[in-house]
Amino acid sequence: MAWIYGLAIFLGVLSYSMLNVGMGLQKKGAESLPKIEKQKVWQNLKNFFTNKTWLLGFLLVQSQWILLTMALDFAPISIITPLMSFGMVALVIFSFFYLKESISFVEIMGIIAIIIGIVILGLTNPEEEVLYTLNETIERFSSTWSIVFLVIIFVISIGLILLSILRKYKNADILFGISAGITDALGAILLKALMSGADFRDKTIVNDSVTNWVWWFFMFTMIIFNGTATIYLQVAYQRGKAVIVAPIFGVLAMIVPVFAGIIIFSDWAIFVEQNMIGKMLLKIAAFVIIIAGAVVLSIKSARTQKKENGENPPEEYQPLVKGLEEMEYAKKSID
């Protein structure tokens, strides 16, 4: 049994490393291409899929799901989930040496906070996952709280995109990164619903699912959300650093499904039923730590972009700027 868990951990580390390195390659390819909003749809598709660097990253991101699925077959999710932190470490190293992105102490602390939070979340997951049939899943998605939750997060994702566009793509790395994470999370939530009717060990379940229009609705909506998230992510990559965009994207893509699990699937009910209040409090603390790390990265990104745009001159020019301001004030006083 120990060697099986060892294999699962190896596959998990490899999977999350592929994911983050793939995202770094997508960033490298995306930043060399014309801005997405300035090109037509077909031209964008041609630009991205003929860019070898971006295409390699895209293939890595897509193929890592195979390894992750195998890892989850060999070990519980409570063991595999914390390995996401190793993927972020791989991204930091990759971004520093390959993308040549400078990493400040503040950014390192933000990334460390996110990694610690992810590890705590993984270690406090319940050992057993409650499984639902397709009809039970549909019933849960139809509840008032589920609909309100899904509508709110969808509106937030669209609102952030519109805000960025109205501000002429100012802070687009943060806003599009958050929207990409939320949209990807919506796809993950629908994937969970889709898999409730896709137990290939039982042909009866599969046959019942493919004749149910709701199951197909889950599938096509999931594909749309995943495709949209990919587009949002490329816009963010074109305007920001991978070490900032990827963690923000990853945090939202992970946290939103957790809240969906609480609201839609009552995942945290097991903590109350089995009197595991300590684990539940640790999960809440992990959320706070992760959000704090994401906020640190977002603020750092905003300040960096502000300096690059000339809104806040570098420190070495501050005395000159101050002198010019004093001269202008003196001139106005004489006049």
Domains of the chain by residue range: 1-101, 125-335
31: left (phi > 0), else alpha (psi -120 to 50), else beta? alpha
Strands (E), 105-169: none
Which residues does the chain have with pLDDT short of 70? 1-3, 5, 72-73, 75-82, 85, 125-131, 197-210, 298-335
Tokens standing for residue 63: 């193929």
Residue in the block written with tokens 């040549």: 100
66: left (phi > 0), else alpha (psi -120 to 50), else beta? alpha
Phi, psi at 41, each rounded to 5°: -55, -50
65-103: string of b/e by CB count within 10 Å (b at 16+)?
eebbeebbebbbebbbbbbbbbbbbbbbebbeeebebee
Pick from 145, 309, 311: nearest CA to 239: 309
Which pTM was predicted? 0.71
Q: Find out whether 117 and 289 touch, Cβ atoms under 8 Å.
A: yes
CA 102 from centroid of its chain's CA atoms: 21
- According to the model, what pLDDT value does residue 161 have? 94
Pick from 243, 268, 214, 281: nearest CA to 114: 243
Q: How far apart are CA 98 and CA 320, in angstroms?
A: 36
84: left (phi > 0), else alpha (psi -120 to 50), else beta? alpha
- According to the model, what pLDDT value does residue 316 have? 46
Q: Find out whether 64 and 16 touch, Cβ atoms under 8 Å.
A: yes
- According to the model, what pLDDT value does residue 148 have? 94
- Around Cβ 106, how many Cβ atoms within 10 Å? 13
- According to the model, what pLDDT value does residue 324 have? 47
